[in-house]
Amino acid sequence: SQQGEEDPQALSIQEGENATMNCSYKTSINNLQWYRQNSGRGLVHLILIRSNEREKHSGRLRVTLDTSKKSSSLLITASRAADTASYFCAPTNTGGFKTIFGAGTRLFVKA
């Protein structure tokens, strides 16, 4: 099993600013995924980065992975009010299953 721990717990920014969230984990991974959860809904898969990748982009999202530090970051550029949600990282072990989620980062984007 593998748990991701997100930091900070909460983040409040103005619309248009960038938001950075961090994730740390403990053991070797196969890949690491980031998810978003709007209040009262299921988790939505945002982006997956493999252990042999260092950076990945998808639209306004940028994910970095540093396997030597066992950490990842999610950057949302030019944030919008609609980005208000909780964000979770999910590191997946080699061998795969039982991903354990942390408490997430609650992002609030003020219009």
Partner 1 sequence: GAGVSQSPRYKVAKRGQDVALRCDPISGHVSLFWYQQALGQGPEFLTYFQNEAQLDKSGLPSDRFFAERPEGSVSTLKIQRTQQEDSAVYLCASSLDASASIGYTFGSGTRLTVV
Site residues, partner 1 (CB under 8 A): 1, 30-31, 33, 35, 40-45, 48, 88, 90, 92, 94-104
CB of 15 or CB of 53, closer to partner 1: 53
CB 83 within 8 A of CB 99: no
* Residue closer to partner 1 (CB basis): 13 or 48: 48
For the CB of residue 91, give the shortest distance to partner 1 in the complex, in Å.
10
Give min distance, CB of 16 to partner 1, in A: 27
Residue type, 52: N
Residues 6+ apart with CB under 8 A from 17: 79
d(CA 40, CA 91) in angstroms, rounded, equals 23
Nearest to 60 by CA among 27, 17, 90: 17
Nearer to partner 1 among residue 83 and residue 104 (C-beta):
104
**Taking the complex as a whole, how short is the minimal distance between the CB of residue 103 and partner 1, in angstroms?**
5
